[in-house]
Copies of this chain bind each other. A is one copy, B any other.
Amino acid sequence: MNDPAGVDPIIVTRWLEFETDVGSVRDITGDVCEAVLGSGLEEGIATIFVPGATGAVTTLEHEEGLVRDLGDALERLVPEEIEYAHNERWHDGNGHSHVRASLIGPSLTLPFSGQSPVLGTWQQIVFLELDTRPRHRRVMVQILGE
């Protein structure tokens, strides 16, 4: 919690930490809102970034149906059970995880205004665990504002 409150901060860094399950889609909206509020900044942007090649971040209406639909789409587009050169070389078995992560992307920048992220009513910020085993994840929220 490195908050230089009161001295017109420009950049504030926060880390979210959590454990994941395989295939999980985690709603991190509350954590990001809290990070923005805690920064003391009124207006700006927050970059949410996944350091790691098998996780991704995007937005989604986080309800049970769509969580399943997004997972189904990823399995349809980048199936787990086809051949990956990555698996042949490294025997990780997570070639599909890497490709899916590159497709969705590790970074989301969203504006905030009045100390609150600008989001649609049914739009949540989600972290996608795309790896083949549960992971401990750290996601950075880099907040720039005034």
Q: A: which residues have CB within 8 A of B?
A: 10-11, 13, 43-45, 47, 49-53, 58-61, 63-66, 68-70, 73, 77-78, 84-90, 95, 98-99, 101-111, 113, 118-120, 122-123, 126, 140, 142, 144-146
Q: Helix, strand, loop or mixed for chain A's interface?
A: mixed
- Total identical chains: 3
Query: Can you name 26 A-B pairs with beta carbons within 8 Å?
Result: A11-B44, A43-B142, A49-B109, A49-B118, A51-B123, A52-B123, A53-B120, A58-B103, A61-B98, A63-B89, A64-B85, A64-B89, A65-B85, A65-B95, A66-B85, A69-B99, A70-B102, A73-B77, A73-B99, A103-B103, A111-B140, A111-B142, A113-B140, A113-B142, A118-B140, A118-B142
On chain B, the residues within 8 Å of A69 by CB distance are 84-86, 95, 98-99
Assess the A11–B49 pair: CB atoms within 8 A.
Answer: no
* A23 CB → nearest B CB, Å: 14
A60 to B103 alpha-carbon distance, docked (Å): 10
Q: Are the C-beta atoms of B53 and A144 separated by less than 8 Å?
A: no
Cβ of A11 and Cβ of B146 under 8 Å apart? yes
In the assembled complex, how far is the CB of residue A14 from the closest CB belonging to chain B, in whole angstroms?
Answer: 11
Taking a contact as CB atoms under 8 Å apart, the answer to whether B44 and A120 are in contact is no
| B residues near A103, Cβ cutoff 8 Å | 58, 73, 103-104
